[in-house]
Amino acid sequence: MRAALLFLLIAFPALAETPSRPTISFILEAIRDRALIAYKMDFIAIEGLNGLARFDPAFDARIADGRVQLHYRNHDLASFALPMTNDPASWAILLENASREAAHASLAIGKANPDELTEAIADGFLSKLDIFSHYAGPKEAQERRASRSGFGGIGVRYDVGPDFITLTEVIAESPAAQARLRVGDRITAIDGVKLAGHDQNEIVQMLRGPVASPIKLSLQRDNQTLTLRRSLIVPPTVSSSIDDGVAIIAVTGFNEETADGVTDAIRKAKTLPGFKGIVLDLRGNPGGLLDQGVRIADQFIPEGKILFTKGRHPAAAQHKDARSGDPGEGIALVVLVDGRTASAAEILSADLQDSGRAVLVGSNSFGKGAIQTVLDLPNEGEMTLTWSRFYAPSGYALHGLGVLPNICTVPSKSKEDQPLAGGRAAAPDFFAAWRSAAPDDMANRQKLRHHCPATDQADDRADIAIAKKLLNDHALYAKALAVAAPISTAASLHLPLPSVH
């Protein structure tokens, strides 16, 4: 009897783990108040509860007869009265109680810890909104914050070997660079702990720590032991090179130092003898911090609108005009885009094209004009929530459409296109149709995108060659700029929002 009782207590714990109620309540409140589309809370809550099915597909929740009904293995499990319609706190209590009932019935759900339960429910919520809204638990959120804002480290990238790590990059001016570490160096121990048997995540935690804290590295080279002090490391996103008077500035993403990196690259390029212009390479750039893209646009655009967004929440409506006096104004500029150019990188591209400041070369961009806000959660995780749409300076909604390059380098059978510098340019009326496409007419938007299909051209040197040709021929550059002359420079203040779901 005692053994049987012990088994029951283990299989069906009296105090089952539950998700973080404050976190669930916060997420529901954010969706209610901030999501781009208004959703019914009962729909979102039930979808979240059904997220527990990831642990045990035999679990199911639904609303029937005015109550929340739980089922397990096709049998009734529990029933709850519906909370107040739009009260996140009440729904969070119900989800907590329902999760406890599910944990008592299912051994698989009962084994899940609070973080896992919270993630399953949050994923259930957000998966029904759009593909860009996302929940990150505490560990993932920590990594995301580090990529945006930096972390305490020594400034290296590396490959993990069986007994050591091999440095593949040493970031300039980092503690590692100051200690004269170099690519190819092998580190065998950190703070006296040998690296044999440690995986990538463990090594990351060993290398990172508070800014100014000491770290001791054992090197295979000459059996050296070095002591460094960690500093704030923000992963570099900007690199530049010079080729025959043309500055090629590649931007791989947008974090808190990206705009400053571009500004520095512009200033250095302008000091070169025979300087002809800039190629801003945004191919493969997935985006990141929107304000950084806006700041880069302002570096090149002397005046006019560069940001207009609109959403349900008052704070989602943002307006930004360019200010004169920046180092990139007046410089001939070509921007390279492809099918992986997305989000803030597309917004930057649209700004530069619509303002007449840049010739775009490549293929259609990704088509992500939905903007997310990132919110810190009570459990130290974070949620990324779609809350507004971006409208280009000429007035069109970018989402689901993307940016059409002035010069398309993707093959086409169109008879109306005009050859231009090794690529092709659409007729002016096609650009007019592009910019006048209705925001919710996705069928037409997809049809328009077929003109210059989005492709991955991150390694295509032909785009660089076309860009250099443009910057070496003023008449050709002017002709390419005129191809995409905007039909309007003022976005409407009465742009439509998506319908309620």
Secondary structure percentages of the chain, helix, strand, coil, to 5: 35, 25, 40
Is position 139 annotated as part of the catalytic site?
Answer: no
Burial of 204-233, coded b for 16+ CB within 10 Å and e otherwise, reads eebbbbeeeeebebbbeeeeeebebebbeb
> How many Å separate Cα 247 from the centre of its chain?
27
CA 142 to centroid of chain Cα atoms: 15
Q: Which of 276, 310, 368, 468 is catalytic?
A: 368
Amino acid at 234: V
Catalytic, out of 90, 343, 363, 394: 343
Q: CA 8, CA 182: separation in Å to the nearest integer?
A: 59
Query: What is the H or E stretch that residue 479 is in?
Result: helix 474-483
For β-strands 382-390 and 134-136, DSSP reports them as: antiparallel
DSSP state at residue 397: B
Please return the burial class of 465, using the count of CB atoms within 10 Å of its CB with bins 0-12, 13-18 and 19+: middle
The angle formed by the CA atoms of residues 335, 281 and 293, to the nearest 5 degrees, is 80
* Residue 223 DSSP code: G
Return the number of other C-beta atoms located less than 10 Å from residue 497's C-beta: 15
Q: Three-state SS string across 428-465, please?
A: HHHHHHHHHCCCCCHHHHHHHHCCCCCCCCCCCHHHHH
End-to-end CA separation in angstroms for the chain: 54
The radius of gyration computed from the CA coordinates of the chain, to the nearest angstrom, equals 27
Question: Is 463 one of the catalytic residues?
Answer: no
Assigned token pair, 9: 């207590």
Separation of alpha carbons 174 and 154, rounded Å: 6
Closest CA to 349 of 371, 369, 330, 374: 369
241 is catalytic: no
**481-496 per-residue burial string, b: 16 or more CB within 10 A, e: under 16:** bebbebbeeebeeeee
Contact 363/410 with Cβ under 8 angstroms? Answer: yes
Q: Answer whether 300's CB lies under 8 Å from 330's CB.
A: no
Phi-psi map region of 227: left, alpha, beta (phi>0 left; psi -120 to 50 alpha): beta
Selected catalytic residue, list 338, 351, 354, 463: 354
Active site residues: 343, 354, 368
